[in-house]
């Protein structure tokens, strides 16, 4: 038989083999590109994969602390895998569904805790937490529970407060830093009347950040997502509508993220900025004199904000839970970790011995955030918490932009939050 004929006769089978080989190579390449797998190598070094989305100074802190941990534990290698922050939740769900979840992870705890704990992404760390020697140094809110079991820890918080440009306040004749919403309104009116500066820079984006910035106007009156109705809600929407109408807030507030709002405040054109403590690290670069205060309290109430920040968790599918907990203890729960994250990134540790130290409580700029952390509000544990926040964010953004009037905004928020809460089972 002609060899060429034989060759043609085999070609379909060979093609199939080549195709399968190519697919296999593609799949293997994909695995290789994704990350080094968890496991222990021939030298006895165990690699743990840590999915995180820290950036800037927080990332710098994490890298330094991880290097310290690896020096102290030469048989453990922590591979830091960068994930896009707002895609962390969906990627975790996808990874866990195919049995490829990470050993360690951080998450936007106030948004996705109900989802990730309910979906089996995070390991139950109740035994580790309850036997942790320094547990008494942390407030109970540090441990986030689902049906009584601990899945997430929040050892450092990020909270909202008020920054002010002391130079502008002096120029326009404001001598006292506002501590209540009414005082803030009076101060903004004074800044606006002066005409040289803008009054307030804050986020009003139609998402979680817009909701987060708005809610302290109600939290201090004991109104939260589970009691979101009544005249106080209407008044709060009328207030932000008034701020927009009088030009104290630019229309762009409706689309500003918290980063945008900080950049605006950094220009030196704004008298006040409502923003988070994570900017303390950058505040040293400001070209004007600044100060900080707690978020102004609503009239008749107290200053109260929601705690935020990244939760730390151990992946449900890890093969090395003991090593992962050792890392969490050393980097996230230790006094060393707490001191350094504040010094490097401005995050507020809740560990009592560090939070009460002169470095934090005695620091004029940091102290308002430390006080806020000690009396922060409690998030609902409803699985549709993210939905509730989005509904509120869209409503406040609509009011800032003029798409909705105050009444429409309040109604939209009340209805949207109620619908989401019901969708999530109705509880808090």
Q: Which of residues 186-205 bind other proteins (CB under 8 A)?
A: 204-205
Kindly indicate which of the ranges 224-232, 244-252, 290-298, 338-346 contains the residues binding other proteins, using the contact rule CB under 8 A: 244-252
Q: State in angstroms the smallest separation of the CB of 253 from other proteins.
A: 7
Site map 49..88 versus other proteins, x via CB under 8 A: -------------------------------------xx-
Q: State in angstroms the smallest separation of the CB of 26 from other proteins.
A: 9
Kindly indicate which of the ranges 59-67, 108-116, 294-302, 329-337 contains the residues binding other proteins, using the contact rule CB under 8 A: 108-116
Which of residues 217, 253, 275, 381 is near other proteins by CB under 8 A? Answer: 253
Q: State in angstroms the smallest separation of the CB of 206 from other proteins.
A: 4
Gap between the Cα atoms of 232 and 216, Å rounded: 12
Q: Which of residues 268-327 bind other proteins (CB under 8 A)?
A: none
Does the footprint of other proteins cover residue 161 (CB under 8 A)? Answer: no
Q: Which of 382, 371, 392, 366 shows the shortest CA–CA distance to 423?
A: 382
In order of 76, 216, 275, 369, the CA distances from 199 in angstroms are: 51, 19, 14, 22
Which of residues 3, 13, 30, 284 is near other proteins by CB under 8 A? Answer: 13
Which of residues 78, 394, 413, 414 is near other proteins by CB under 8 A? Answer: 394
Q: Which residue, 122 or 350, is less far from other proteins as judged by CB? A: 122
Q: Which of 146, 59, 48 shows the shortest CA–CA distance to 101?
A: 48
Q: Give rounded-to-5 percent helix, strand, coil for the chain.
A: 50, 15, 30
Radius of gyration from C-alpha coordinates of the chain: 25
Does the footprint of other proteins cover residue 105 (CB under 8 A)? Answer: no
Q: State in angstroms the smallest separation of the CB of 417 from other proteins.
A: 12
Gap between the Cα atoms of 183 and 176, Å rounded: 9
Q: What angle do CA 260, 266, 271 make, to 5 degrees?
A: 105
Does the footprint of other proteins cover residue 404 (CB under 8 A)? Answer: yes
First to last CA, the chain: 79
Q: State in angstroms the smallest separation of the CB of 425 from other proteins.
A: 9
Does the footprint of other proteins cover residue 93 (CB under 8 A)? Answer: yes
Does the footprint of other proteins cover residue 11 (CB under 8 A)? Answer: yes
Show the tokens assigned to 48: 């743990």
Q: Which of residues 345-384 bind other proteins (CB under 8 A)?
A: 383-384
For residues 123-158, one letter each, b for 16 or more C-beta atoms within 10 angstroms of the residue's C-beta and e for the rest, the string is bbbeebbeebeeeebbbeebbbbbeeebbbbbbbbb
Gap between the Cα atoms of 55 and 82, Å rounded: 9
Show the tokens assigned to 129: 């937490």
Q: State in angstroms the smallest separation of the CB of 103 from other proteins.
A: 18
Which of residues 80, 81, 119, 367 is near other proteins by CB under 8 A? Answer: 119
Q: Which of 343, 239, 233, 258 shows the shortest CA–CA distance to 308?
A: 258
DSSP string, 79-113: EEEE--GGGHHHHHHHHHHTT---SEEEEEHHHHH
Which of residues 107, 109, 112, 161 is near other proteins by CB under 8 A? Answer: 112
Q: Which residue, 18 or 302, is less far from other proteins as judged by CB? A: 18
Does the footprint of other proteins cover residue 406 (CB under 8 A)? Answer: no
Does the footprint of other proteins cover residue 420 (CB under 8 A)? Answer: yes
Pairing of strands 198-201, 310-314: unpaired
Does the footprint of other proteins cover residue 15 (CB under 8 A)? Answer: yes
Judge residue 347's burial from the number of C-beta atoms within 10 Å of its C-beta, 0-12 exposed, 13-18 middle, 19 or more buried.
buried
82 phi, psi to nearest 5 deg: -75, 130
Does the footprint of other proteins cover residue 122 (CB under 8 A)? Answer: no
Residues of this chain that bind other proteins (CB under 8 A): 1, 11-13, 15-16, 19, 22-23, 86-87, 89-90, 93, 96-97, 112, 114-115, 118-121, 204-207, 250-255, 264, 383-384, 386-387, 390, 394-395, 397-404, 420, 423-424
């Amino acid at each position: 038989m002609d060899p060429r004929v034989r060759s043609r006769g085999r070609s379909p089978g060979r093609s199939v083999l080549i195709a399968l080989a190519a697919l296999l190579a593609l799949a293997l390449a994909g695995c290789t590109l994704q990350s080094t797998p968890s496991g222990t190598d021939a030298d006895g070094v165990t690699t743990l994969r840590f999915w995180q989305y820290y950036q800037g100074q927080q990332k710098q802190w994490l890298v330094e602390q991880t290097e310290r941990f690896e020096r102290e534990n030469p048989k453990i290698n922590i591979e830091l895998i960068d994930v896009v922050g707002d895609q962390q939740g969906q990627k975790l769900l996808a990874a866990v569904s195919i049995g490829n979840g990470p050993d360690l992870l951080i998450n936007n705890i106030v948004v996705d805790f109900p989802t990730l704990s309910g979906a089996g992404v995070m390991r139950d760390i109740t035994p580790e937490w309850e036997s942790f020697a320094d547990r008494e140094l942390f407030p109970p809110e540090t441990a986030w529970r689902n049906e009584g079991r601990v899945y997430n820890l929040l050892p450092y918080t990020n909270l909202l407060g008020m920054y002010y440009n002391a130079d502008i306040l002096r120029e326009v004749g404001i001598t006292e830093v506002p501590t209540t919403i009414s005082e803030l309104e009076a101060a903004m009116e004074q800044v606006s009347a002066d005409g040289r500066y803008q009054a307030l820079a804050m986020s009003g984006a139609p998402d979680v950040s817009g909701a987060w910035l708005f809610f302290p106007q109600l939290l201090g009156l004991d109104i939260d997502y589970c009691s979101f109705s009544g005249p106080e809600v209407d008044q709060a929407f009328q207030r932000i509508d008034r701020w927009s109408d009088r030009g104290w807030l630019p229309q762009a507030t409706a689309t500003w993220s918290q980063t945008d709002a900080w950049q605006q405040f950094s220009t030196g054109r704004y008298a006040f900025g409502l923003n988070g403590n994570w900017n303390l690290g950058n505040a040293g670069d400001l070209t004007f004199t600044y100060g900080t205060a707690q978020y102004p309290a609503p009239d008749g109430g107290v200053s109260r904000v929601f705690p935020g920040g990244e939760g730390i968790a151990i992946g449900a599918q890890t093969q090395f839970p003991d090593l992962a907990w050792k890392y969490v203890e050393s980097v996230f729960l230790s006094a060393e970790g707490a001191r350094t994250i504040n010094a490097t990134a401005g995050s507020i540790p809740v560990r009592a011995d560090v939070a009460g130290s002169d470095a934090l409580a005695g620091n004029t700029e940091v102290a308002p955030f430390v006080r806020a952390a000690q009396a922060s509000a409690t998030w609902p544990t409803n699985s549709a918490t993210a939905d509730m926040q989005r509904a509120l964010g869209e409503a406040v953004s609509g009011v800032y932009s003029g798409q909705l009037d105050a009444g429409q905004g309040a109604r939209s928020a009340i209805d949207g939050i109620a619908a989401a809460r019901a969708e999530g089972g109705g509880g808090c």
